[in-house]
Amino acid sequence: MLAKRIVPCLDIKNGRTVKGVNFVDLRDAGDPVELAKKYAETGADELVFLDISATEERRRTLVNLVRDVAAQVNIPFTVGGGISSVEDVDILLQNGADKVSINSSAVKRPQLVNELSQKFGSQCVVVAIDAKKIDGEWIVHLVGGKVPTELNLFDWAKEVEERGAGEILFTSMNNDGTKDGFANEALARLSEELNIPIIASGGAGNMQHFVDTFKDGKADAALAASVFHFQEIEIPDLKQELKKQGIPVRL
């Protein structure tokens, strides 16, 4: 069985790491370069960097900041926010990104997933899906969760897998920042219906939530932000707990 991955997420706004609840009420969480260095040194398996206002502000990802973070880490590094072309990805990979995460741009032009996977390989392409459960149905949202679409989470996830996505990063907007645990029922269904890795995001509040998302949610990786940024959970302690509960991790 493959080792489960622990993935801190740096949500970036105005060059700083921020964290909110249900995608709003953002507060400062520190310097992204310092945080990235700390996570790489303390056992994170991967790192995700999301320029959360790039799409809304209709600009490209902060390339200089990506380069600065990449210089401090020796673990796989995924970058997202404002990516809408092969050229955008080329620039990010040249500046230290290992993978890219696309969200709004993939919904607006699904062919982008095909283009990126054909040019860079599916292992480079993470499709992020922000979805909210409304009247029993998981609805995909865009622009940092501000714009609802007609898309159903599971249908859209299947489509992007067929188009060449290498991983799905699913964030439950209902769970995000609540610290009540991940959306394990939806995660388990994604894992059953798809053949590519699923990264769980939204809701981590304690170590048991990580255990539950790996066991019940069948997630391949778990992403979290505030519990790591504000030292509520230290990654080495988390990995020891996961190992104790029979979950394979890299120590």
CB 8 within 8 A of CB 39: yes
Instruction: Calculate mean pLDDT across residues 20-28.
Output: 57
Q: Please give the distance of CA 24 from its chain centroid, rounded to a whole number.
A: 17
The angle formed by the CA atoms of residues 35, 40 and 46, to the nearest 5 degrees, is 100
Q: What is the C-alpha separation between 178 and 72, in angstroms, rounded?
A: 30
Among 11, 51, 212, 220, the active-site one is 11
Indicate whether 223 pLDDT > 60.
yes
Is the pLDDT at 199 greater than 90, yes or no? yes
User: Percentage helix, strand, coil, to 5, in the chain?
Assistant: 35, 30, 35
Q: Which residue is listed with tokens 């095909």?
A: 114
Residue tagged active-site, from 51, 130, 176, 220:
130
To the query of whether residue 237 is one of the catalytic residues in this protein, the response is no
Please tell me the CATH code under which domain 5-244 is placed: 3.20.20.70
Q: What is the pLDDT of residue 19?
A: 61
Question: Considering the entire predicted model, what is its pTM?
Answer: 0.92
Q: Indicate the residue type of 23.
A: F
Q: Would you say 50 and 62 are in contact if contact means Cβ atoms under 8 Å apart?
A: no
- Is 11 tagged catalytic? yes
The answer on pLDDT for 247 being more than 80 is yes
> What phi-psi label fits residue 15: left (phi over 0), alpha (psi between -120 and 50 degrees) or beta?
left
Could you report the per-residue pLDDT of 169-186, keeping only the tens digit for each?
999 999 988 899 999 999
| Mean predicted lDDT score pLDDT of the chain | 91
In our burial notation (b when 16+ CB lie closer than 10 A, e otherwise), range 95-117 reads bbbbbbbbbbbbbeeeebbbbbb
Residue 120: which pLDDT band, with cuts at 50, 70 and 90?
very high
Q: Which of these ranges, 16-25, 62-71, 208-217, 235-244, has the smallest mean pLDDT?
A: 16-25
- Joined tokens for residue 15: 């060059």
User: From the CB of residue 242, how many other CB atoms can be counted at a distance below 10 Å?
Assistant: 21
